[in-house]
Amino acid sequence: MMIVFVFFAFLALAAASFNPQPDDDIEIWYIQGTMEHFVELKQLMKDLDIYHGAVAFRVVSRPEEFVVYEYFPPAFIDAIFPTVVWQPNGTKTLTWNNKAIVTAKYEWDKRIWVHEQKIGMMKGSLFSKFHEWVPSYNVTDGRYYLWTVWDKFQGKMYIPSRNCLDFCWTAFQWMYDNGVKFDYSKKCRRDYVNLYVKPSIKAVSLDDPEWHDKIVEFYETFQFDNESLISILWHIIEFPFEHKFVYMYEKYYAIAFHWPFFDYRYSIDPLPGAPKDNDDNNKDNEARPERRAPRPDCPYADHPELRPERGMGMKLGKGMVPERRAPR
């Protein structure tokens, strides 16, 4: 019943604010900007040069008519780390607040969306079909997963992410499958938040007595108040657990990190249908900047000019390891 309500509420909201005619020419835009929804992330994203992404549409003959579709969870940190709760039987379990939805917005603030690319065109009749498709994405892909889990960047991918940019590329694929011809001269940047793990990764269950306490203890240890995402990640990596875990697609995976543990990178990913012989988008992906945040007490935390050169990664050194913290 709730799904039906959300579906029709979504359609009614957009219809009231953006209702192109079937023969209208509609511009398709890929836009990127800061996450204004989460104040605590704005400066971090700016410092690391990583972006939130969305898909926008504008009527050619009436440029004042536009709509922006973006995918995000209601609470970012809660979407990537769980809450530890006591059960009536006296045991602990984990709850996740990682639901996310695509919303249609009627604001296109140039101060927020700082990178804009017109990547194609469609008719108003096809836009109406796209708008009808979006609620189905909310039903089938309504859980947010920030990480992409690799052996190495652009190498073997163990588990894909599901975040704002994944929505964008899924939307582009829908458009291509429905006849949209993209402008393949446009080079579209796609950001990745990466975890690097060894091949020993395996699925485990919270309901399995062998793993239950280990999983809960792992996440319970990092229930810090007012901690930054970067600080939490460094503690996860460095705390001497026998097992570490990542939660993806409603499953837990036991993992072992390897260098460089985690980072933020982007690649220039081809739009669906890009000709293979002309696709040089990813030739230089390995040389793309490695966006890794300094540790909280890193000597160059406040002096970015002292960061290692591109490709060097972060070398461990004196004063760069955070103080160990005891579990709560």
For residue 223, what pLDDT band results from cuts at 50, 70 and 90? low
Please write the tens of the pLDDT for every residue from 166-205: 999 999 999 999 999 999 999 999 999 999 999 999 999 9
Please write the tens of the pLDDT for every residue from 227-266: 666 677 777 777 767 789 999 999 999 999 999 898 889 8
Which percentage of the chain shows pLDDT scores above 70? 71
Cβ pair 322, 295 in contact under 8 A = yes
- Give me the pLDDT at residue 183, please: 97
Q: Which tokens sit at 50? A: 């990583």
Average pLDDT across the chain, whole number: 79
For residue 86, what pLDDT band results from cuts at 50, 70 and 90? very high
For residue 126, what pLDDT band results from cuts at 50, 70 and 90? very high
Of 7-21, 43-57, 169-183, 253-267, the poorest mean pLDDT is in 7-21
Amino acid identity, position 101:
I
Phi, psi of 263 (to 5 degrees): -165, 180
Residue 233, Ramachandran bin (φ over 0: left; ψ between -120 and 50: alpha; else beta): alpha
Q: Report whether pLDDT(34) > 60.
A: yes
- Give me the pLDDT at residue 231, please: 72
Of residues 273 and 281, which shows the higher confidence score?
273
- Give me the pLDDT at residue 298, please: 40
Please choose, from the candidates 116, 112, 196, 183, the residue with its C-alpha nearest in 3D space to the C-alpha of residue 155. 196
Please choose, from the candidates 194, 175, 147, 161, the residue with its C-alpha nearest in 3D space to the C-alpha of residue 272. 175
Q: If residue 241 lies in a helix (H) or strand (E), which one and from where to where?
A: none
Residue listed under structure tokens 């604001």: 107
Give the Cα separation of 261 and 151 in Å (integer). Answer: 10
Beta bridge partners of 69: 55, 104
Alpha-carbon 10 to chain mean position: 23
Cβ pair 197, 255 in contact under 8 A = yes
Q: Report whether pLDDT(40) > 70.
A: no
- Helices then strands, counting H and E runs in the chain, come out as 7, 14
For residue 288, what pLDDT band results from cuts at 50, 70 and 90? very low
